[in-house]
Amino acid sequence: MTPIDLFQTASYNMLRSKARTVLTIVAIFIGAMTITLTNGIGTGIKSYLNRQIGNLGATNVMSIQLTSSSSSGLGSAGSAPAVYNPSQRAVATASTDPHDGGSMQLLISAKDIGTIQAMPNISSVEPERAISPDYISGTGGKFQLSLQQQFGATTSDMLAGKGVDNGSSENQVTVPVSYVASLGYSNNQAIVGKLAAIGVTNAQGNQSVVTATVTGVQQKALLGSSSVYANTSLANQLYKIQSTGLPASAASAYTTVDAIFPASLTPAQVSTLKRDLKAKGFTGQTIKDHEDTVFMAINAVIIVFDVFGAIALLAASFGIINTLFMSVQERTKEIGLTKALGMSPRRIFTLFSIEAILIGFWGSALGTAFAALLGQAVDTIAAKGFLKDFPGLTLLTFPLTTITFVIVGIMLIAFVAGTLPALRASRKDPIEALRYE
């Protein structure tokens, strides 16, 4: 028998007991659909978060704080207070825990910034300044805003224009798409290149107005979507005005600095940089660290749902074993006859193995195809419904590699499940098989 003959015979034999085969395929169908849907959700959310991660900052920026010698709350009875160090200052930070009075965060000094700046693979260091402007205005009225300094090159989705340039001496901002109409512009492109006025009040209560050029409009995103982003020039000017009237020690009180490192650094080199910082008493975190934390939670949920799919596949595996065992039992004389006519045990084993693989293929192919169609329908409904405020978010994404992996994986499971019945068929004695009633 040629390979084509074996395939055609296995296809015919698979359909000899249609009801039994269909029920087994349905079990595989359910497992394949469940696994494809859960992985599709995971892929869609991860893809969206990866595209939007630029709203939290550039990937080659590390937020650095001094490692506190005590993480306990103020007045905590859990541990003794930290020993006073006259070279260090600390501020109390609020806690969301009603039973916790807060915690102490050490302030980074100019000497600390110099230490960080001198470390290998650190390109530049900028303090994170808490900037609290009063309003932003365009040709319309005045509106409240949350303003953040853009560290490094932005990777945000831009609907128009581009991100701010930290190397420019010109004051620049990017605004969320929700601000365009409010600031008096008819479309996203119309606001690009125009001036926006930002009001800021100093410690003495005097308000000043600073103008900045709008360089781009940000896509509405899940993360960081409501912030106006300023370049270094504008952030420095606003902070200088805001700090007027404060003691010099208060104006230079930073709990966090952002260090920019070459984007070409490998993960191993970034880890080495973190260890070097830790050795000098600092703790560094990148956007990737926050991303990994989020993805860990997503992966945990996916694994839970995949377990349900795996249970369905386990049940389907027993269905394949039962289907093929029954097939061997029903075709005992036929197997004996084919062996008597010269078919080798290996060919008989291959015949039943192909039958098992075909059952796995049809169950997985139909299951993944149905999942993909269902995913498209859900995405269409969601885009017009509860996800309409998050353009660009595709809830279910089915890469060809994922679908291929599911189909091939299930076919492999089917082959393994069919091994025992196939071995039994290949080892039958032709004389005894021909005598079988």
Calculate mean pLDDT across residues 403-421: 88
Last residue of a domain, one of 263, 283, 303: 283
Residue 152 placed within a domain: yes
Is there a single domain that holds both residue 33 and residue 71?
no
Domain that holds residue 236: 58-75+117-283
Residues 65 and 25 in one domain: no
pLDDT band at 70; cut points 50, 70, 90: very low
Q: Yes or no: say if 158 and 219 are a contact pair by the CB < 8 Å rule.
A: yes
* Domain end call among 258, 283, 308: 283
272 in the same domain as 133: yes
Structure tokens that stand for 185 in this block: 């512009």
pLDDT of residue 7: 81
Most confident of 61-70, 197-206, 326-335, 426-435: 197-206
Least confident of 98-107, 144-153, 321-330: 98-107
Report pLDDT digits (tens) over 209-259: 999 999 999 877 655 557 888 998 999 999 999 989 888 767 677 888 888
335 and 279 assigned to the same domain = no
pLDDT above 70 for 394: yes
Task: Give yes or no for residue 339 having a pLDDT over 90.
Answer: no
* Whether residue 68 sits in one domain with residue 20: no
Q: Is the pLDDT of residue 55 over 80?
A: no
- Quickly tell me which residue has 């404060």 as its tokens: 246
- Rounded to two decimals, the pTM is 0.59
With a CB cutoff of 8 Å and minimum separation 6, the contacts of 330 are 16, 17
What was the pLDDT predicted at 73? 44
pLDDT tops 60 at residue 340: yes
In a domain, 95, yes or no: no
Residue that wins the pLDDT comparison between 429 and 71: 429
Structural domain tally of the chain?
A: 2
Q: Identify whether residues 377 and 311 lie together within a single domain.
A: yes
CA distance 82 to 255: 18
Contact in structure between 402 and 36 (CB atoms under 8 Å): yes
Q: Identify the H or E element spanning 126.
A: strand 124-127
For position 392, what pLDDT does the model report? 67
User: Do the domain assignments include residue 103?
Assistant: no
Is residue 109 a part of any domain in this protein?
A: no
Question: Same structural domain for residues 68 and 195?
Answer: yes
Is residue 98 situated within a structural domain? no
Whether residues 267 and 314 share a domain: the answer is no
Task: Report the SS3 class of residue 50.
Answer: helix
The pLDDT of residue 185 is above 80: yes
User: Do 327 and 424 fall within a single domain?
Assistant: yes
Is the pLDDT at 111 greater than 90, yes or no? no
Residue 430 has pLDDT above 70, yes or no: no
pLDDT tops 80 at residue 294: no
Residue 96: the pLDDT is: 46
- Boundary of a domain, candidates 283, 315, 340: 283
Structural domain contains residue 206: yes
pLDDT class for 269, splitting at 50, 70, 90?
A: very high
Is 80 contained in some domain?
A: no
CB within 8 A of 268, min separation 6: which ones?
A: none
The rounded radius of gyration (Å) of the Cα atoms in the chain is: 32
Residues 213 and 314 both lie in one domain: no
- Cα 121 to Cα 259: distance, rounded to the nearest angstrom: 10
Among 86-95, 286-295, 318-327, 380-389, which stretch is predicted with the lowest mean pLDDT?
Answer: 86-95
**Which of 110, 129, 255, 228 is closest to 172 using CA atoms?**
228
State the average pLDDT over residues 135-139. Answer: 90
Band (pLDDT 50/70/90 cuts) for residue 189 is very high
| 88 located within any domain | no
**Rounded mean pLDDT, 34-49:** 81
Are 68 and 15 part of one and the same domain? Answer: no
Residues 338 and 353 in one domain: yes
How many whole angstroms separate alpha carbon 66 and alpha carbon 80?
Answer: 20
